[in-house]
Amino acid sequence: MDDTDNFIQAGVTILKTLAAAYSHPENYKVLSWNDELYHRVTKPEPLPFDGQNMDETVAEAIQTIFSGYCNVSHPQYYGYISPRPLPVSVLGDLLAMGLNQTPGAWRAGPAATAIETETLHWLSEFIGYHTPSGNLPNGIVTNGGTMANASALKLARDTLLGREVQSKGVRSANKPTIYMSREGHFSVWKSLDFLGLGRESLRLIEIDEQGCIDLNALEDTIQRDLRQGYQPICLIGVAGTSATGAVDALDTLADVAAHHNMWFHVDGAAGGAYANLAETRQFFTGIERADSVTLDPCKWFFVSFGIGCLLVKNGEELRKSFYATGHYWEETDELDIFQMSFSGTRQWRTLGLWLAFRHLGEQGYKRILSHNLKVTHDLAATVIATDVLELLHKPVLPVCCFRVGQIKSPDTVTMAIQRFLVASNHYVTLLDWRGHHYLRAAISNFATESSHVYELVQTILTYLDTNYDT
């Protein structure tokens, strides 16, 4: 069936919908849903027997989406690190999906493979993680940070325990251990389970007052494990915790890893975009020494969900860890990236990011990042200037956590404020920090201005004046 005419008409409807969502995000609530959507989760509608025309189908999809919509384009959306995507990147995603190219194998997408390889090098250059050029890319693209971390841990396992573990399994290993702060991402212990190393192989190290790994506690734990016959194989530095944006002392961790002959992995999924920005570069010193680095472009690179990256020093080592083929696959000297990762044929997700780099350039990207950081610092300064709010930490990245201070039952009040804010079109989340509740605001929208965060604080103060004796 040739639906070309209908395709164009329906496509224009979708583009106009996106344009309206980007241009006038204030026309939609920051978070909305209805009871019908809950009902459809527990009792999905039956599979349609007869079809309908494309216009009706697209209209139904749009209506359904906006009945349960998390409006990340709204400048008062401060939840997690979910960005408003750059429009040019969305067009790249559409083009890549529409032409159904895959960078998994050269013969399945020569241009896709070349653009993806180039994008990986640009990412490395942007964050200051310079890697030697070679015949293979300096990393892989995954569907998110979880798979990127899992791939890094597999590479660490194979390298430190010996390549025979790939065929014989981990039961031949000598009690391997992995080290990470308590603020590290849950994807790590999921990955250790997935890789057969077991969740108990992970040592969660206590943190200091700023949310960074406690170096004394780390060394004590390593020494205890060595005395008990364990084999430390991997040390993970967190370059931007999900909770508060804290960055571990990466240069010191690189020294620790080298001293104990461990793989040094940096999880920069959240904060890696800021590694080479003038205002924040000093917090990331040592990232260039990592054996591997995880990045999530679907955070502060402002592209849509579903893309993560693993950068490494040597692409050939990735190929050793993931090489596989089939009798139906003709081996040539072409670049087949599927032999460097878990994925086989996969969606081409780097065209949107490549277009964003081309469109903005390095300086354009850095201006956006600097803007978000400035807005965050303005929020922190506004919080400090009040008599009733208190800051958790001075922000390193665009994450600001604060709470009600001198008031009876501050945790209960902070929780009530968070519910009120979301209902009032200010999407902030709650953070449980050492048994106390804080409001957490992440500035992940390049359209958020200082005026918006001033309004956020004023809304809180008005609520407190109306409902509490402050």
* pLDDT tens, position by position, 150-166: 999 999 999 998 888 88
Q: What is the CATH number of the domain that holds 136?
A: 3.40.640.10
Strand partners, 399: 442
Buried b (16+ CB within 10 A) or exposed e, 234-262: bbbbbbbbbbbbbbbbbeebbebbeebeb
Residue percentage of the chain with pLDDT more than 70: 98
pLDDT band of residue 38 (cuts 50, 70, 90) is: confident
CA distance 384 to 398: 16
Using alpha carbons only, what angle is made at residue 349 by residues 347 and 354, rounded to the nearest 5 degrees? Answer: 145
Residues 412 and 375 grouped into a single domain: yes
178 has a pLDDT exceeding 70: yes
Residues 116 and 42 grouped into a single domain: no
Residues 438 and 339 grouped into a single domain: no
Residues 49 and 123 grouped into a single domain: no
Residue 102 contacts residue 112 (beta carbons within 8 Å):
yes
304 belongs to a structural domain: yes
353 belongs to a structural domain: no
**Closest residue by Cα to residue 211 from 152, 264, 255, 271:** 271
**Closest residue by Cα to residue 11 from 57, 68, 74, 52:** 57
1 has a pLDDT exceeding 60: no
**Closest residue by Cα to residue 411 from 434, 379, 386, 378:** 434
CA atoms within 13 A on the CB side of 207: 19
- The region of weakest confidence among 19-33, 243-257, 318-332 is 318-332
pTM of this structure: 0.94
- The region of weakest confidence among 124-128, 237-241, 324-328 is 324-328
Residues 366 and 325 grouped into a single domain: no
Q: 169: phi > 0 → left, psi -120 to 50 → alpha, else beta; which?
A: left
Longest pairwise C-alpha distance within the chain = 75
- The pair of structure tokens assigned to 242 is 């999900």
**The predicted structure's pLDDT at residue 179:** 98
pLDDT band of residue 169 (cuts 50, 70, 90) is: confident
Q: Which of 282, 313, 347 is the last residue of a domain?
A: 347
Residue 235 contacts residue 264 (beta carbons within 8 Å):
yes
Q: Which of 296, 323, 347 is the last residue of a domain?
A: 347
pLDDT band of residue 259 (cuts 50, 70, 90) is: very high
Residues 379 and 279 grouped into a single domain: no
Q: Which of 304, 321, 347 is the last residue of a domain?
A: 347
352 belongs to a structural domain: no
Query: What amino acid occupies position 291?
Result: D
Tell me which residue range forms the domain holding 8.
4-30+33-68
- The pair of structure tokens assigned to 111 is 């241009």
**The predicted structure's pLDDT at residue 172:** 54
